[in-house]
């Protein structure tokens, strides 16, 4: 049963992130704080809350379950921080999450961060308004106080004008076959990078067709498909799905075929966020219409709108069956 949830922040809620098992939830806000909740029966109980940054906290990411309880946070104060839970501290004390490392190499506010999958080791990708994709790695996951920057990739030919809207996002591939691949969106463009045998990240594909700022993108988890999927949310009003297929070759970098297999303007306005379920079989999207739309693949491989939910429906009807 779905229930209304109040995070209790004092300003706009910026991001919600779940751990691998969806048993823990972290929220962040323009009030500079992070809150962590534990799922108990059908309710979310506050575990701890603390002031994490000196500006709005815009993005959170949980590390994989192999690395205990670790969260990364990104902020408009141009800093990324890595936090680890100290279970010896009392819940609700504001001291339960310890800052283990601070990354301050950025030339502007942060837009997105994400830990890589467990296949890649403990890697953290980030992107800021300066237009650089940066990848940091904890060479010894048992020592979160030491991270090494392994990549710094310029994505813009020239800086964006401050008076214009910007949008940057990233997503690691969730497939063992593509373990060091990540997708990055820069304004109206989207690309796929991979790590070659020399350890350098190189651009290997482009996701075209976008006619506006790309607000969000996500690789689908892959549990047995012969191909991968990427969803994008765009200011031009379209949700798009791309099929990513590896092409065998003898070169140092893999060749990828990119096919646009679905696009929908059902939100009747800007599309803001996309998210896959754990198995990569259901996609959800949100847009300017104030609705959550759920998409499922048919037996023919075509994606169809399986359910539409508004905040009023969630409160009145409870869980949505899809």
Domains within the chain, CATH numbers bracketed: 155-322 (2.130.10.10)
Is 147 in contact with 99 (CB distance < 8 Å)? no
Q: How many CA atoms lie within 13 A of 58 on its CB side?
A: 21
- Please tell me the pTM assigned to this model: 0.92
List per-residue pLDDT tens for the chain, 322 residues long.
456 788 999 999 999 999 999 999 999 999 999 999 999 988 999 999 999 999 999 999 999 999 989 999 999 999 999 999 999 999 999 999 999 999 998 999 999 999 999 888 999 999 999 999 999 999 999 999 999 999 999 998 776 666 567 899 999 999 888 989 999 999 999 999 999 989 999 999 999 999 999 999 999 999 888 999 999 999 999 999 999 999 876 555 568 999 999 999 999 999 999 999 988 999 999 999 999 999 998 877 788 999 999 866 655 544 444 4
Task: Give 252-260 contacts, CB < 8 A, sequence gap 24+.
Answer: 252/196, 252/197, 252/198, 253/194, 253/196, 253/202, 253/204, 254/194, 254/204, 255/204, 256/192, 256/204, 256/205, 258/192, 258/205, 258/206, 258/207, 258/208, 260/208, 260/209
Partnered with residue 65 across adjacent β-strands are: none
Strand-pair category, 110-115 with 148-154: unpaired
In the block, residue with structure tokens 């990240």: 201
The Cα angle at residue 110 between residues 145 and 65, in degrees rounded to 5:
45
Is 205 in contact with 193 (CB distance < 8 Å)? no
Query: Other C-beta atoms within 10 Å of 88: how many?
Result: 7
């Amino acid at each position: 049963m779905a229930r209304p949830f109040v995070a209790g922040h004092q300003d706009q809620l910026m991001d919600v992130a779940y751990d691998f098992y969806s048993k823990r939830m972290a929220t962040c806000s323009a009030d500079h704080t992070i809150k962590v909740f534990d799922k108990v029966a059908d309710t979310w109980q506050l575990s701890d809350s603390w002031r994490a940054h000196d500006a709005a906290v815009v993005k959170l990411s949980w590390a994989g379950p192999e690395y205990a309880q670790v969260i990364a946070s990104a902020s408009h104060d141009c800093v990324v921080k890595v936090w680890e839970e100290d279970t010896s501290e009392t819940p609700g004390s504001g001291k339960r999450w310890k800052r283990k490392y601070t990354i301050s190499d950025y030339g502007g506010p942060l837009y997105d961060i994400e830990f890589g999958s467990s296949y890649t080791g403990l890697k953290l990708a980030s992107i800021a308004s300066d237009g650089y994709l940066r990848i940091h790695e904890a060479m010894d996951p048992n020592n979160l106080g030491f991270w090494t920057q392994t990549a710094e990739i310029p994505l813009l030919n020239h800086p964006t004008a401050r008076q214009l809207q910007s949008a940057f996002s990233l997503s690691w591939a969730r497939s063992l076959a593509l373990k060091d691949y990540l997708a990055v969106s820069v304004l109206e463009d989207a690309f796929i990078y991979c790590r070659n045998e020399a350890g350098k990240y190189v651009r290997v594909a482009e996701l075209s067709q976008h006619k506006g700022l790309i607000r969000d993108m996500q690789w689908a988890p892959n549990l047995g498909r012969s191909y991968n999927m990427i969803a994008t949310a765009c200011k031009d009003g379209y949700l798009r799905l791309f099929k990513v297929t590896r092409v065998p070759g003898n070169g140092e970098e893999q060749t990828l075929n990119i096919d646009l297999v679905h696009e929908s303007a059902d939100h009747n306005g800007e599309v803001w966020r996309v998210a896959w379920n754990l198995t990569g079989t259901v996609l959800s999207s949100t847009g300017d219409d104030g609705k959550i739309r759920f998409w499922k693949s048919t037996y023919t491989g075509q994606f169809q709108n399986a359910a539409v939910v508004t905040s009023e429906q969630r409160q009145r009807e409870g869980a949505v069956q899809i």
